[in-house]
Amino acid sequence: MEELRVDMRKRTAEDAAAGARQEELLFRLNHTLPTTPEYMETLRALLDGHIGEGSFLHAPLAGAALHKLVIGSGVYINANLLAMARGGITIEDDVQIAANVQLLSNNHDPYDRQILTCKPILIRKGAWIGAGATIMAGVTVGKYAIVGAAAVVTHDVGDCEVVVGNPAKVIRTLDAKRFEP
């Protein structure tokens, strides 16, 4: 997986305008009643339409480059998601994400902190991310995997694996045959 490097000192006027638009949409989303059509319209605008049928994200939401966040169908995301999406974040269908989760697809170069180092995050179909978990750049969480509450995931999680802790470690593997096809 190739790393994208972004020099924040070289922001263009277009980058600044996109950032300002995102801030406005985030403010509007975070101050709109979630059960209204206006809320869903604002969420779709914020994600450039990248949200599937039957998916819902509870405000408040925070993050960067949210146009690079792609949410599949039937996804439920509870409040206080932090989505640093400069490296790209893809959430496949039927994923559940609890409150206070951090998806961090970008980091800073340790020697030049104005350089962002970015790798995509992929959360596969049917995964469940527990409250307060952190998923780091470049990580794939496999189909039907479970990330326990407050886990810090620094490496890929295989299909049906259950991980907990900091750093997250596999504690069991679920029976793949028990999931609906």
CA 142 to chain CA mean position, Å: 14
Length of the chain, please?
A: 181
In the residue annotation, 108 being an active-site residue is answered as: yes
Q: Is 141 helix (H, G, I), strand (E, B) or coil?
A: strand
Q: Each residue of 143-173: b (16+ CB within 10 Å) or e? A: bbbbbbeebbbeeebebbbbbbeeebeeeee
Q: How far apart are CA 9 and CA 120, in angstroms?
A: 22
One-letter amino acid of 178: R
Q: Which of 31, 58, 67, 108 is catalytic?
A: 108
**DSSP for residue 92:** -
List residues with catalytic annotation.
108
